[in-house]
Amino acid sequence: MNFVSKSFLFFSFILLTLFLVTPVLAFNKPVPPKAPSAPSAPEVPAPPDVDGIYDVPERPGMKVKVFAHPAKPKTPPKPGSSPSPSPSAAVSNLLACGLTDPDSSSVVTKAGWKIPAGNITYLLNTSSVPTSVGKTNLPAIVKAGFDQYNLATGGIVNFVKGPDTTVSRARLDGKNIVTWGRASSGTLGVTYIWYYPSTGLAVEIDTVMNTRYKWTWSNSNSCADSTTYDAQNIMTHELGHWLGLSDEYNAGAFSNNTMYGYGSVNEVKKNTLTTGDISGVAAIYSP
């Protein structure tokens, strides 16, 4: 074997050795550990959709008030009579007109907080709206209520619509939400107010309208579907809690107020604030 052949074999052996050893060395090369990521803040659990005032975990001094707006209890039917249609039955669009909207001078009581002065941004989940109401109608329904409350504060508070959201449940996330979502049976809508009793200021508010019930929107103050709940009628009531108004259950004094505690089918009188509702707001923002 000549010198050239020996040299070729020698270099071939070196190259083969490097080819076989190098991957093993690369595989066994220690990998530096990744820097630990910053822990994310734990989500604050949502309170139950049951009337009450609750402590807020991880938020010393903060409370959350829950208003669960019940359907008006039905009067038991007389023996031998046919029961009235259930509001959770299929939407039938039985429109009744000529409904009255009496005023009331009974002043609604304060719940214990108010919204800070200035612009308050709210987000709407239009994708959650029942088709019988129409997702494109939600901005108008909510604005109609907020516009009345803006005036009742004397312009101290101004509600401003922000971008749409997909959030469909109440949670403390720094955003004020209006949506349809799941809630307990017997509850038409639930409003959650996170606030500090020490300052009397609300820090966040969410409203969830219950998808368990059938809804329509008559877009009228004198006509309503006789078998479903009117979205604006109940929504305007829920928005009153944002301002700091309580529920009132004395039917003799408050049955015509927007803030009367029960909601009914065949009703739109909560669409417009009574003198007593307006006076209640004024007592909070212009004492």
Distance, in Å, from the CA atom of 258 to the CA atom of 149, rounded to the nearest integer, reads 12
- Is the four-CA dihedral 237, 242, 248, 252 of positive or negative sign? negative
Distance, in Å, from the CA atom of 179 to the CA atom of 78, rounded to the nearest integer, reads 38
pLDDT at 10: 52
Going from the C-alpha of 198 to that of each of 63, 67, 80, 110, the distances in angstroms are: 10, 20, 56, 16
pLDDT at 44: 72
Three-class SS of residue 66? strand
The b-or-e profile of 181-214 (16+ CB within 10 A means b, else e) is: bebeeebbbbbbbbbbeeeeebbbbbbbbbbebb
| Domains in the chain, CATH or no CATH each | 52-72+91-285 (3.40.390.10)
Q: What is the mean pLDDT of residues 213-232?
A: 96
pTM: 0.80
Q: What rounded mean pLDDT belongs to the chain?
A: 85
Is 29 a residue whose pLDDT tops 80?
no
pLDDT at 94: 81
Range with lowest mean pLDDT among 75-89, 105-119, 181-195, 207-221? 75-89
Tokens 């019988």 correspond to: 132
Is 5 a residue whose pLDDT tops 90?
no
Is 226 a residue whose pLDDT tops 80?
yes
Is 39 a residue whose pLDDT tops 80?
no
Is 28 a residue whose pLDDT tops 70?
no
Distance, in Å, from the CA atom of 93 to the CA atom of 228, rounded to the nearest integer, reads 8
* Cα 144 from chain centroid (whole Å): 17
